[in-house]
Amino acid sequence: MGSVKDLRILEEPTKEQPGKGRFVFSDRYSVFDWGEMPDLIEHKGAAIALLGAYFFEKLEAMGIPTHYLGLVEDDQVNKISHIKSPVDTMEVKMLRVIKPEVKGDRYDYSPYQEEKGGFLIPLEVIYRNSLPPGSSVFKRLETGEAKPEDLGLEAMPVPNQKMDPPILDVSTKLEITDRYMTWDEARAISGLTTGEINDLKELVNTVNHLITREFAEIGLVNEDGKIEVGFDHQRRLMLVDVLGTLDECRFTFEGLPVSKEILRIYYRDCPWHLATEEAKAKDRQRWKEICPLSPEPLPPRLNQLVSQIYCACTNEITQKEWFKDTPPIREVMAEIKGYLNG
Tens-digit pLDDT profile for residues 93-145: 999 999 999 988 899 999 999 999 999 999 999 999 999 777 889 989 999 98
Contact status, residue 95 vs residue 65, Cβ threshold 8 Å: no
Residue 175, pLDDT > 70, answer yes
Q: Tell me what percent of the residues of the chain surpass a pLDDT of 90.
A: 82
Strand partners, 124: 171, 228
CA distance 320 to 64: 25
Taking residues 171-181, what's their average pLDDT? 90
Mean pLDDT of the chain: 94
Name the 3-class secondary structure at 248: coil
CA distance 224 to 166: 9
Span 291-310, pLDDT tens digits:
999 999 999 999 999 999 99
Sign of dihedral through CA atoms 55, 57, 58, 62? positive
Contact status, residue 298 vs residue 340, Cβ threshold 8 Å: no
How crowded is residue 18: how many other Cβ atoms within 10 Å of its Cβ? Answer: 21
For domain 5-340, is the CATH number 3.30.470.20? Answer: yes
Domain extent listing, the chain: 5-340
Q: Name the amino acid, one letter, at 123.
A: L
For 7-16, 130-139, 310-319, 333-342, which range has the lowest pLDDT when averaged over its residues? 333-342
CA distance 88 to 45: 5
What is the predicted pLDDT for the residue at 285?
Answer: 84
What is the predicted pLDDT for the residue at 37?
Answer: 94
What is the predicted pLDDT for the residue at 193?
Answer: 97
What is the predicted pLDDT for the residue at 342?
Answer: 59
State the virtual CA torsion across 151, 184, 113, 171 in degrees, nearest 10: -20
CA distance 132 to 138: 9
Strand partners, 66: 239
Q: Rounded to a whole number, what is the largest CA-CA distance in the chain?
A: 56
